[in-house]
Amino acid sequence: MIFDDAFIQKITVILISVILDEDMNLNEKITILWVDDEIDLLKPHIMFLEDKGYAIITANNGVTAIELIEKQHFDLVFLDENMPGLSGLETLIKLKDKRSNLSVIMITKSEEESIMEEAIGSKISDYLIKPVNPNQILLSIKKHIDSERLVSQKTNADYQKEFRAIGMKLGASMNKEEWEELFKKITFWELELERSGDAGMKQILEMQKGEANAQFFKYVKSNYKSWLTDQEDSPLMSHQVFRKKVLPNIIEDTCTFFVVIDNLRYDQWKMIESSITSDFKIDDESLYYSILPTATQYSRNAIFSGLLPLEMERLHKDWWKNDTDKGGKNMFEEQFLLAQLNRLGKSQIKTSYNKITNIDAGRKLVDNMQNLSHNNLNVIVYNFVDMLSHARTDMKVIKELAEDDAAYRSLTTSWFEHSPLKDMMSFISRNKHKLVITTDHGTVLVKKPTKVLGDKDLTTNLRYKQGRNMKYNNKEVFEIDNPKDVFLPSVNISSKYIFAREDYFFAYPNNFNYYVNHYKETFQHGGISLEEMIIPVVTLSPK
């Protein structure tokens, strides 16, 4: 991978900053309070820890320990359980009253169950049985206090090794499978570095992810038309998902649930995966490519119809709605699904379809889940994540809660953990039904405005435009002069489509500042980015 001088300079500055931060962290001593009525006998242990760089403060009774806690900060407390006067357990309770999050390791001669239960109930971090040796103490410190720093250092070191490998991949000519694997790898490091809390390394990854999106845009631009005509070389795409990933799981006398969570990115799936796999085992986790535009009326209708947009318009004129048509654009998903089943010779499949757009509808469906068990196929469309991304644009409080990708992931996870959707999945698992989870498209945090002009009927989406007489920077878009080439319908004979690249969004020159101020740093979809186009489809079985 050949990087320009500016990119290399930025990376070098950030790496130096990361190294300096690590050195500063190493020089920040961890302060430990050791409370024991025989503290003088522990002098060799204390000297051993001090030689390792830890600051040790001692107390020979509980009262002194409590006074010390009130006066200064301690990272950890070693507390003898069997002390005269104020006992270890009594001291523990008072210490926790002063500082509830204080890490306390109880050291005890006794292994009595009742004492251990009381100590654990009072939220000790761990306990050690006397006699203890210095290495036991050292390992205990590293486990409870130093582990976060050690994990962060290891994560950073591992990513620094991976950085060059990812860069070399980006410099090579990759196929669809290699792009999927690269995106998985970038997402993995994004989540790992987020946990490590190192802002410098996260910044480097963000820059590398930006470079990946720039190369991915070129890849899509060069290959998209052929994907729709050459079935052998094309990736799995929206209109093929149902036939290839859902239909094989529908077996006579069994029940399968097909859940489409609108606007669920791959990283968001990885965040909720552990919660779902507590009840399910993963039979297959795949990625597929959303069709363009990566917008609900195109991509989700394609999933249910098994058709590309131009084919939907030709075969089902009453159900397909163009951008400029009035009314909802996804009002006929159930009809599209039934037509696809009929076309595939599966009209006998007993099917239900439910779309959830608010929490009350979700709770109502939870109460009705038992009735769905009699069907071969149950489709549930859950719209929350899409509503969240749009709400972030329009509501200041949501924008503050989800100010970046990490916060957006966190908010999605929190929602899922308390949502009716999780209750539905628990029911599916308990009743031993099959489950397929997917989405229709992802979303990207937009940062760069690009100007566009057009006729008054120009579509309003910020990541793609359909219309006539458009003026734009052709270096910042993928332009389709003849929509039929990519199976897209045209509102007018001279209509064309343009798709924004990477993290760009369209803004009108005559109201440019408004668009920039209102839409910059918001989540949008419809264009070309890894986050929008490469999305999960997962098949699960109950444990």
Tokens matching residue 470:
């458009």
| pLDDT at position 395 | 53
pLDDT higher than threshold 60 for residue 11: no
Closest by CA to 50, choosing from 30, 65, 68, is 30
Quick one: average pLDDT of 33-48?
Answer: 92
Indicate the domain borders of the chain: 26-146, 148-226, 236-442+532-542, 445-527
Closest by CA to 469, choosing from 480, 484, 453, 481, is 453
| Burial class of 239 by CB neighbour count within 10 A (0 to 12, 13 to 18, 19+) | buried
For the beta carbon of residue 414, count every other beta carbon within 10 angstroms.
Answer: 12
State the amino acid at position 37 in one-letter form: D
Give the three-state DSSP class for 80.
Answer: strand
Contacts for 450 with CB less than 8 Å, ≥ 6 apart: 472, 473, 476, 477, 500, 504, 505, 506, 507
pTM metric for this prediction: 0.80
| pLDDT at position 381 | 97
| pLDDT at position 509 | 85
Least confident of 198-202, 213-217, 440-444, 445-449: 198-202
Taking CA atoms, 71 is separated from 68, 80, 107, 124, 408, in Å, by 5, 21, 24, 21, 39
pLDDT digits (tens, 9 = 90+) for 218-273: 999 999 999 998 767 899 999 999 999 999 999 888 999 999 999 999 999 999 99
| pLDDT at position 424 | 97
State the amino acid at position 527 in one-letter form: G
Quick one: average pLDDT of 430-441?
Answer: 97
What does the buried/exposed string (b/e) look like for 48-78 if buried means 16 or more CB atoms within 10 Å of the residue's CB?
A: bbeeeebebebbbbbeebbebbeeeebbbbb
CATH code, residues 26-146? 3.40.50.2300
Q: 3-state DSSP helix/strand/coil percent for the chain, to nearest 5?
A: 50, 20, 30
Is 236-442+532-542 a domain of CATH 3.40.720.10? Answer: yes
pLDDT digits (tens, 9 = 90+) for 333-370: 999 999 999 999 999 999 999 999 888 899 999 999 99
Q: What are phi and psi of 491, to 5 degrees?
A: -70, -40
Give the three-state DSSP class for 84.
Answer: coil
pLDDT digits (tens, 9 = 90+) for 173-225: 899 999 999 999 999 999 988 887 777 788 888 999 999 999 999 999 999 99
State the amino acid at position 44 in one-letter form: P
| pLDDT at position 326 | 84
Quick one: average pLDDT of 82-90?
Answer: 89
Tokens matching residue 291:
């069709």
> 382 falls in which pLDDT band (50, 70, 90)?
very high
> 20 falls in which pLDDT band (50, 70, 90)?
very low
| pLDDT at position 444 | 96
| pLDDT at position 16 | 46
The Cα 244–Cα 227 span in angstroms is 16
Q: What angle do helix axes 420-430 and 359-367 make, rounded to 10 degrees?
A: 20
The Cα 208–Cα 166 span in angstroms is 8
